[in-house]
Amino acid sequence: MNSLFILLPFFSVLILNLPFRAVMKKLALRLGLYLSMVQIACALCPTFFRFSNEFDFTSRFFKFDLAVDGLSQVLLLSIGIVLSVSFFMARTMITDEEKIFNFSSLALLLMAGMNGIVMVTDIFSLYVFLEISAISSFILIAFHKDENSLEAAFKYIVLSAIATMLMLIAIALILVVSEDTSFSTICLETQDSAHIVFLMFAVGIFLCGLLIKAGVMPFHGWLPDAYSAAPGPVSVLLAGIVTKALGVYTLIRIFGFVLPLNHSINQVLLFAGTISIVIGALAALGQSDFKRMLAYSSISQVGYIIVSLGCGTLLGLAGAVFHLFNHSIFKTLLFVNAAAVERQCGTRNMDKLSGLASRMPVTGATSVIGFLSASGIPPLAGFWSKLIIIIALWACGQYVYAVIAAMASVLTLAYFLYMQRRVFFGKIATDLVNIKEADFGLVVPAIVLAAITIGVGLGFPIFINTFVLPVMNSWKG
């Protein structure tokens, strides 16, 4: 039954584009919302996946070799939550029926691609689903077909093509060594390989490809433009889950479970992650565009996940997985609120915004929760994952990186306080006195995401035991 997570959204796209298009247009958005909510329900039930791993009858007909472990379950949950929010937002933000239909079809195709990424058990199938997701993403980025969105989509296509080339070369080289593409075979054949130099070259270029997909510095050139130029529901998808599934998850899967981590790879991950943390935070401080500031913040937060993976320890893996989930939630929340501000005020320029909390109290309050979690303030969810990351760095002897990671949280707090003061605090701008709170389709997702952030923070032992410990138990590092 695991394959249904791929087949249902994929066949939904096919069915929606058959005749009776007028009827299908009305069903498309609801179908996407229902499928994503069903996925959340399944991901919250560990016994469902234990059953479906044993009795996946659909894979016999469609020749899928799929499996769901603890890491896959965390990603499936994140994908379901972010897609649900995006579909819910689209009901409010996209008014044209044809555009709603196109968005829903592309989002469902993206859903199939990302679900495939987190469940496949061989490296070539992983590449195929990565490309399905990438193609859906850059079409969604160019959704408005204006100058900025087309430029952003073009940058993403170019850098994604470079990543694709690097990954294909690496897969070919790994195949020469392992003679198979399955994760289990690659893991066995590469542990004591006589072609260590050859293998390290393949691993290096594969790593570069994944860092491009994740938007990690210095491979981040596409990310700020894509996040800021895309429409609100698409920005939520990109920031909330696309870069996590295509880049970050794949890094964790390949270098935490398939290819053995060694000192050289660890140092690359630690360095690249730290550069992203610091430079991303500094770049966010200098932005006046609300969404662009959040885009650079995403680069910084992803850096924490990369650094934690670079520890090469079980505790580092736990921190990476926990922060991956937390970042999906609080960054989705902040992009929902950015979309609400842009929709109500007609601008994202923070220099033209002031005092919105008095007119948009829900948006203002949930933004505070989101940025406090991102800054690592207790007892919110982001505090616990950042704490685990810093402890993991210290425990493995990376004292300098641990101090930098802790100090960078001060930078995060600084630019979010700066944003909050410019946008929500102070006296209301004269041309914004008639602004009202955002519509139902934006307020409800913000409240739900804020509740998740608070709930996971207060009940983090439950989340750790239910979702993170199973990941650690299956680690082969």
Does residue 407 sit within a domain?
Answer: yes
Does residue 179 sit within a domain?
Answer: no
Mean pLDDT for 129-149 is 85
Does residue 411 sit within a domain?
Answer: yes
Does residue 382 sit within a domain?
Answer: yes
Print the domain residue range for 321.
261-477
Confidence of residue 61 (pLDDT cuts 50, 70, 90): low
Q: CA-to-CA distance for 129 and 133, rounded, in angstroms?
A: 6
Q: Is residue 374's pLDDT more than 60?
A: yes
Does residue 476 sit within a domain?
Answer: yes
DSSP string of 282-335? HHHHT--BHHHHHHHHHHHHHHHHHHHHHT-SHHHHHHHHHHHHHHHHHHHHHH
Does residue 191 sit within a domain?
Answer: no
Confidence of residue 58 (pLDDT cuts 50, 70, 90): low
pLDDT at res. 306: 92
Q: Is residue 452's pLDDT more than 90?
A: yes
Q: Is residue 54's pLDDT more than 60?
A: no
Does residue 426 sit within a domain?
Answer: yes
Q: How many separate domains does the chain show?
A: 1
Q: Is residue 453's pLDDT more than 90?
A: yes
pLDDT at res. 274: 92
Confidence of residue 260 (pLDDT cuts 50, 70, 90): low
In angstroms and rounded to an integer, the radius of gyration of the C-alpha atoms of the chain is: 21
pLDDT at res. 304: 93
Does residue 58 sit within a domain?
Answer: no
Q: CA-to-CA distance for 32 and 212, rounded, in angstroms?
A: 28
| β-strand partners of 349 | 289
